[in-house]
Amino acid sequence: MKDRKYYDVYYAMHASPWMDIKIIVKTVGVVFLGEKRFLRPVTEQEYRHLKREVKRRYTVQPETAAHLRPSTLS
């Protein structure tokens, strides 16, 4: 299940027409040859790297959050 979550997040971050074509081709292969031929386990290092990338891209940094707060000056 961890592998599927990894690929879902990876797709969301790297979506492109080329990746869509690759997925369609692999899907056809899975239908005819079976999933085990195409399923590549995700290493712990890849998982940690993507997790850091998600955190870096989608976490609001404290200095940015300070600019987003409404001004208390009236």
Per-residue pLDDT of the chain (74 residues; tens, 9 = 90+): 677 788 888 888 888 999 999 989 989 988 998 888 877 788 889 888 988 888 888 777 677 666 766 655 54
Per-residue pLDDT at 70: 65
- Would residue 62 count as lying in a domain? no
CA angle 57/22/42 to nearest 5° reads 55
- Would residue 56 count as lying in a domain? no
- Would residue 9 count as lying in a domain? yes
Please name the amino acid found at residue 30.
V
- Would residue 54 count as lying in a domain? no
Whole-prediction pTM: 0.56
- Would residue 73 count as lying in a domain? no
Per-residue pLDDT at 73: 53
Domain that holds residue 38: 1-17+26-48
- Would residue 31 count as lying in a domain? yes
Number of domains in the chain: 1
User: Which of 42, 53, 49, 55 has the alpha carbon at shortest distance from 5?
Assistant: 42
